[in-house]
Chain A
Amino acid sequence: MKLHDYVLSPSCYKARLMAALAGVKLDIRPVDFHPGAEHRGPELMALNPAGSIPIMEDGDLVLTESSAMLVYLAAKAAPQWLGNDTAGEAARVQQWLSFSHRLTASLGAARLHEMLLRPGNIDVLQGQGTTALRELEAGLVEQHIRGQRFLASDRPTIADVACFPYVALAPDGGVSLDPYPVIRLWSRAIRGLDGFIEMPGIHRLHELRPDPVPGEA
């Protein structure tokens, strides 16, 4: 399974993270997104006319939407990440998968503006990001009242993987996570999952690693 990947892209990281959590080994093909704009070059435009990355290839299957990649990885290797098939949970997974695009368009665009100097109206993007974060916080609070720690279920699903990266990287775009205690708890729960991998800007939980010198810590 081949992933056209950019190490600083939260959308690419979704696919890398899901693969790591599901135990799938990806064949990573680095794309010079910045400063080279290789994703707009002829080779990748032929593969994905939208001119975006990630792009996933497996045999003759070509996926250009990160949510579809999460579904594919989970269905192949870790179907429990798809959630159960009750009407409520299946719908909730879809709800948050769709919602994740709003995070990309707001927090993601704010991050590109603040970090890689991409154009955009930063005040509007940050404002839209804040609105989305408030919604996510409220959704997670409701889940907590139901006794569930994750977005769609009492266990993590692809919905969590879809929403986590742009939320965790919100401070890169100048949007603080300080006002959202339940988001921070949720972020911690995701970072503590077996098989979790980090990306630049998302630090691992050092304290959950084994003691560097067992018995002396």
Chain B
Amino acid sequence: MTRNAMIDEWYPVGLASQLDAQGRKTALMGEPIEVRLGDDGNAMVTGGNGRALPVCVRYGHVWSSPGDPQKALFAIPEADQPGRRLVDVGVVRARCSPLRAVENFLDIAHFPFVHTDILGAEPHTEVQSYKVEIREDEDEVWATQVKFYQPQAAKSAEGGITTEYMYRVPAPTCSILYKTCPPRPGEWDVITLFVQPLAEDLCDVWPWMALFDDETPMTDLIHFQQTIFVQDRSILENQIPGLLPLDPGMEIPTRADLTSVVYRRWLKRHGYTYGAQLVAQ
């Protein structure tokens, strides 16, 4: 078996705010790891054979890699903008492919049916045409000009509005959603899905947000995002096939699935196949 390109990527392995000296046992791509606060006050991650793994602390989380990352963790410039509330949503485990979790995050067509009366509502089910591209310079997937009618787009949204989104995939198991920010037109709220691949069919999902919202209590912001993800979770755990198919033939996409199509193409191009199924069966 060839070395999977995903070995050398960064993955979230815990909340920075919950680091302690006692440590936490978890896993990355099948390898047991331990995440703890070292004696020097810095985060430490140890691999299955006791070797020290690469570490960085960013966006509320501790990040590590089972391999040798060739570049720094992707940038989210908005995260450093003053005035944003940074929300640690906390972990939720899902028995599904880490790539499936990201793919679901990129999909808007399911909003009226799974996030009924929150992110979508019948009869407003149409996904209008939008743009998707692989930005070669950054080597990222971007979907732009995505518009969707939402009855309650965010905690700070009063009533229904047509919300505009941009989706960005900077790493195989991470996605960033930029979303119309009701109290601050011209800015984008940042909602991320950081996925820790435990196994090909098991992942820990760490949503995180950087919002302009001075009104909503922190707990409400956390619960809003947990509600959305747990509504998705039962769907994710029942998808067939479990591994994300990268070759055409198994699933028939529609125009609304364009982001997923390009995401899969990008995964395949890079050999990001941990949690994927290559040949349609």
Contacts and interface: CB of A to CB of B under 8 A. Distances in A.
Nearest to B121: A212
What is the size category of the interface that chain A forms with chain B?
Answer: 20 to 34
Contact of B230 (A35, A36, A200, A213): A200
Contacts, number: 69
A57 interface: no
A201 B231 contact: yes
A120 to B, nearest CB: 13
Given A116-B91, A200-B227, A206-B116, A35 B15 contact: yes
Interface string A1-31: 0000011100000000000000000000011
Interface string A113-155: 0111100000000000000000000000000000000000000
B147 interface: no
A102 to B, nearest CB: 23
B219 A172 contact: no
A171 interface: yes
Contacts of B233: 115, 172, 200-201
Nearest to B226: A8
A116 B18 contact: no
Which of B89, B93, B94, B223 is the most central at the interface, judged by chain A CB atoms within 10 Å of its CB? B223
A200 B15 CA distance: 23
A32 B88 CA distance: 11
Contacts of B122: 206, 209, 212
A76 interface: no
A36 B15 contact: no
B140 interface: no
Contact of A201 (B18, B218, B230): B230
Which of B114, B228, B230, B231 is the most central at the interface, judged by chain A CB atoms within 10 Å of its CB? B230
Residues of A contacting B: mostly: loop
Nearest to B116: A204
Contacts of A115: 92-94, 230, 233
Interface string B218-258: 11101100111011011001000000000000000000000
Contacts of B218: 32
B123 to A, nearest CB: 4
B116 A171 contact: no
A14 B237 CA distance: 24
Interface of B: 15, 18, 88-95, 113-114, 116, 122-123, 204, 217-220, 222-223, 226-228, 230-231, 233-234, 237
Interface of A: 6-8, 30-32, 34-36, 38, 114-117, 171-172, 174, 200-201, 203-204, 206, 209, 212-213
16 contacts: A30-B219, A36-B90, A114-B93, A115-B93, A116-B92, A117-B204, A172-B234, A200-B227, A200-B228, A200-B233, A201-B231, A203-B234, A206-B116, A206-B122, A209-B122, A212-B123
